[in-house]
Chain A
Amino acid sequence: MTAALPRRGLLPALRLPSWPWRITWLYLGLVLFLPLGGMLLRAAGVGPAGFWEMATAPDALAAYKVSFGVAALASLINGVFGLLVAWALIRCRFPGQRFLDALIDLPFALPTAVAGLALSFVYSPDGWLGAPLMKMFGLKVSYTVVGVGVAMVFISLPFVVRTVEPVLRSLEHEQEEAAWCLGANPTQTFLRVVLPQLMPAILSGIAQGFSRAVGEYGSVVMISSNVPFKDLITPTLIVQKLEEYDFQAATVIGSVMLLFSLVSLLVINALQVWGQRYQGST
C-alpha cells in the first residue's frame, strides 16, 4: 500500500511544469531564444576588434545617423501633434470625432508596403502633395531624407496619441478648476498642472514611436532612394549587406540594432513604471 502513495512533493524541483508553461517555454525557445542566440553567437564569433571595426564602418555610421536622427525628429514632431490630437479626441466634441479616432489606428493596421506605396506616390514630384510642395518651395520629398522623415512620422503617429489618451481621460477636472480659482490663466494651468502629469505618457509614447521608426523598413524603403550616405537607413543597409553576401557585416549591424531595441525596451518600461507611480501619488 505504501508504494501507491503519491510521490508529489517529495522532489518538488523535478516536478514537470503544467502544460501551458511547457508550451510557452518550448515556443519561446524555438521562436525567440534560438534565433536570438544564433545571432549573438555569430556576432561573438567576429571578435571584439572586428565587431567594432564593422559596427563603426563609414557606411554604417552614415546609416545610423539617418536612422536615429530622422526617427528622433519624427517622434518629437509626433510628441507635439500627438498631444494635440489626443487633446482634441478627449477634451473636445466635434463632428467626425469617431472617424478621426479610427483613423489614428490606420498606421498600425495598414501593411507597411501599402503605406510606403501610398506615401511615395502622394509625395512624388507629380503626386498630390509632392507637386505643390515642389512648385511652391522647390522641396523634393520622395526619394530624399525628407521622404524618410514623412514615412517615419506616419508610422509613429499613433503611439503618443494612444499613450496620452487614457491619462488625459483620467485627469480630474477639479484640479484645473482649482487652478482657475487660484487665479491661474489657461496657459499657466496647462503648463503647471496638466502637462507635468501627462509628461510620463508623452515621453513613453515618443520612445515607443522612436523605437518603431528606427526599426521601420517597409514604408521607408519605398519612399527613400536608398543611396548610401544620403538617405539609406540601417535596416536597408542590413538587407543590402545580405544581398552582397557580407553576412558578417550584416550580423554586426543587426546586433547593434538588437542592442538598441533591448535598451529602448528597458527605457520604455522604466518610463511606464514612472508614469504609474505618478498616477498613484496624485
Chain B
Amino acid sequence: MAFVTPPLQDIKPPRWVRPSINLRDRNWVPELIVLVACLYVGVVILLPALSVVVQAFAKGVGVFLDNFRSEEMLSALRLTLLVTAVAVPCNTIFGLAAATAIARKKFPGKALLLSIIDLPFSISPVVVGLMLVLLYSPTHGLFGGLVQSLGWKIIFSWPGIVLATIIVTFPFMAREVIPLLEEEGWEQEEAARTLGASDWQVFWKVTLPSVRWAALYGLILTTARALGEFGAVAVVSGNIRGETQTLPLFVEDAYKQYQTELAFGAAMVLGAVAIVSLLLKLLVEQLLESEKRASNVQEEREP
C-alpha cells in the first residue's frame, strides 16, 4: 500500500486559521468555471431536451396518450421496432466476430482495418443512403436490373431501411469489445484450448463471459442508434406515411404538417428510449468499473 498524499486543496486548514483568510483574496475562478459550464450545457442541451417533455405533455397526459391511437404513428413505431430487431442481432454477430478476429492478433494493416470499421462514424448518413440508392435502385442502381428481375423491393421498402440502419450502426459493438479483449490477453483461452475445448466452446464459455458488460454496452449503443437513425433512412425509405416511415421520419413529417402534438408525442417516445439507454449505459459502466477493480485487486494479491 503506497502512502498517498492528498491533493493540496483537499487539506482543510484548522479552524483557528480561518479568520486570517481574507475573503477578498478568495479565488472565484472554480466557481465561475462551474457556473459557465452549467449555463452552457443548460442552454445547449438541457433546455431543448426539457422542451420535448413539456410540449409532449403541454395539453395533459390524455392528449399525449391519444397520439397512440394514430394508426400512422403506430405503424411507424412497428416499422422502427422491426428494423431494429433485424439490424441489431446482425450487427451483434458481426461485432463479436470482428472483435475476436482482430483484437488479439498483430498483423500489418491492423490500424487500417480498425479505421475502416470506424468509417460509418465519419461518413454522413445521407451519403450512406445515397450509396444504397446507387446500388439497389431499380431504375438507376448498379444492381437495378438484378433487383428488378428477382422481383425484390429494396429501396423505398423495409430491406433498404434495414441495410441503411446496419451500415450506420455496425461499428459500435466491435469498438466497445476490442479494447477490452486487447487488454485481457490470451491466457484463459489458451488454457481452455489445451484442456480440449473447441473454438466454439472457447468463444461461448470463456471469451464471451469475459467481455459480457462491454458487449452489453455495445448492444445498448447499437439499439439506441438503430431506433433513432434518420439521415440514412430518410434517403432510402421514400417516406410514405403508414408504410415506409420510421418513427424518427414520422417526427419530422408530423412537424412539417403542423401536427405539433403528434410530432412531440413521437419525439417523447424516442426521447424516453434515449434516456433509458443513457441510464442503462451508466449502470453498465459502473458494473464494468467494479469488475475491473475486482480483477485488479486479485492481480495485486497474486502477482
The residue from A31, A214, A238 contacting B130, defined by CB atoms under 8 A apart: A238
B27 contacts which chain A residues (CB < 8 A)? 186
Asked if B122 and A264 make an inter-chain contact with CB atoms under 8 angstroms apart, the answer reads yes
Asked if B281 and A105 make an inter-chain contact with CB atoms under 8 angstroms apart, the answer reads yes
Bitwise, B8-28 to A at CB < 8 A (1) or not (0) is 100000000000000000010
- Among A21, A38, A113, A251, chain B packs the most CB atoms within 10 A around the CB of A113
Asked if B123 and A128 make an inter-chain contact with CB atoms under 8 angstroms apart, the answer reads no
Which of A4-12, A51-59, A82-90, A193-201 lies at the binding interface? A82-90
Alpha-carbon gap, A85 to B44, bound state (A): 12
Asked if B230 and A186 make an inter-chain contact with CB atoms under 8 angstroms apart, the answer reads no
B29 contacts which chain A residues (CB < 8 A)? 186
Chain B residue at smallest Cβ distance from A214: B124
Asked if B133 and A242 make an inter-chain contact with CB atoms under 8 angstroms apart, the answer reads yes
Q: Which chain B residues numbered 111 to 142 have a C-beta less than 8 Å away from chain A? A: 111, 115-120, 122-128, 130-135, 140-142
A146 contacts which chain B residues (CB < 8 A)? none
Asked if A110 and B271 make an inter-chain contact with CB atoms under 8 angstroms apart, the answer reads yes
**B interface, size bucket:** 35 or more
- Among A19, A114, A118, A212, chain B packs the most CB atoms within 10 A around the CB of A114
Bitwise, A179-192 to B at CB < 8 A (1) or not (0) is 00000001000000
Say yes or no for A148: interface residue by CB 8 A criterion. no
Which of B45-53, B62-70, B184-192, B292-300 lies at the binding interface? B45-53
B248 contacts which chain A residues (CB < 8 A)? 111-114, 218
The residue from B44, B128, B140, B270 contacting A247, defined by CB atoms under 8 A apart: B140
Say yes or no for B77: interface residue by CB 8 A criterion. no
B227 contacts which chain A residues (CB < 8 A)? 111
Say yes or no for B94: interface residue by CB 8 A criterion. yes
Alpha-carbon gap, A94 to B281, bound state (A): 23
Asked if B131 and A21 make an inter-chain contact with CB atoms under 8 angstroms apart, the answer reads no
Asked if A20 and B98 make an inter-chain contact with CB atoms under 8 angstroms apart, the answer reads yes
The residue from A35, A107, A116, A268 contacting B45, defined by CB atoms under 8 A apart: A107
Say yes or no for B79: interface residue by CB 8 A criterion. no
A42 contacts which chain B residues (CB < 8 A)? 134, 142
Asked if B130 and A39 make an inter-chain contact with CB atoms under 8 angstroms apart, the answer reads yes
Asked if B33 and A114 make an inter-chain contact with CB atoms under 8 angstroms apart, the answer reads no
Asked if B40 and A104 make an inter-chain contact with CB atoms under 8 angstroms apart, the answer reads no
Min Cβ gap A77→B in Å is: 9
- Among A91, A118, A129, A186, chain B packs the most CB atoms within 10 A around the CB of A118
Asked if B49 and A106 make an inter-chain contact with CB atoms under 8 angstroms apart, the answer reads yes
Q: How many residues of A contact B (CB 8 A)?
A: 85
Say yes or no for A231: interface residue by CB 8 A criterion. no
B41 contacts which chain A residues (CB < 8 A)? 85, 100, 103-104, 157
The residue from B45, B93, B255, B270 contacting A111, defined by CB atoms under 8 A apart: B270
Say yes or no for B278: interface residue by CB 8 A criterion. yes
B101 contacts which chain A residues (CB < 8 A)? 18, 20-21, 23-24
Asked if B45 and A112 make an inter-chain contact with CB atoms under 8 angstroms apart, the answer reads no
Min Cβ gap A153→B in Å is: 6
Asked if B115 and A269 make an inter-chain contact with CB atoms under 8 angstroms apart, the answer reads yes
Say yes or no for B210: interface residue by CB 8 A criterion. no
B115 contacts which chain A residues (CB < 8 A)? 265, 269
A75 contacts which chain B residues (CB < 8 A)? none
Say yes or no for A145: interface residue by CB 8 A criterion. no
Chain A residue at smallest Cβ distance from B48: A118
Known: A38-B142, A113-B270, A114-B228. A102 touches B125 (CB 8 A): no
B55 contacts which chain A residues (CB < 8 A)? 121
Bitwise, B176-218 to A at CB < 8 A (1) or not (0) is 0000000000000000000000010000000000000000000
Known: A84-B37, A111-B230. A235 touches B124 (CB 8 A): yes
Q: Which chain A residues numbered 262 to 277 have a C-beta less than 8 Å away from chain B? A: 262, 264-265, 268-269
Say yes or no for B7: interface residue by CB 8 A criterion. yes
The residue from B102, B163, B255 contacting A222, defined by CB atoms under 8 A apart: B255
Say yes or no for B34: interface residue by CB 8 A criterion. yes
Say yes or no for A48: interface residue by CB 8 A criterion. no
The 10 closest A-B pairs by CB, nearest first: A111-B228, A215-B124, A218-B230, A217-B231, A20-B101, A35-B131, A118-B48, A88-B37, A235-B126, A113-B248
Task: Please name 28 pairs of A and B residues whose Cβ atoms are closer than 8 Å in the assembled complex, sorted by A.
Answer: A23-B97, A24-B101, A38-B142, A100-B41, A109-B224, A110-B271, A111-B229, A112-B248, A115-B48, A117-B251, A117-B255, A118-B48, A121-B51, A153-B44, A173-B8, A186-B27, A215-B124, A215-B125, A218-B230, A218-B231, A222-B255, A239-B126, A239-B235, A251-B130, A261-B122, A262-B119, A265-B115, A269-B111
User: Residues of B at under 8 Å CB distance from A?
Assistant: 7-8, 27, 29-30, 33-34, 36-38, 40-41, 43-49, 51-52, 55, 93-94, 97-98, 100-102, 111, 115-120, 122-128, 130-135, 140-142, 163, 166-167, 170, 199, 224, 227-231, 234-235, 248-249, 251-252, 255, 263-264, 267, 270-271, 274-275, 277-278, 281-282
User: Residues of A at under 8 Å CB distance from B?
Assistant: 18-21, 23-24, 27-28, 31-32, 34-36, 38-39, 41-42, 81, 84-85, 87-89, 91-92, 94, 96, 100, 102-107, 109-122, 127-129, 153-154, 157, 173, 177, 186, 211-212, 214-218, 221-222, 234-236, 238-239, 242, 245, 247, 250-251, 254, 257-258, 261-262, 264-265, 268-269
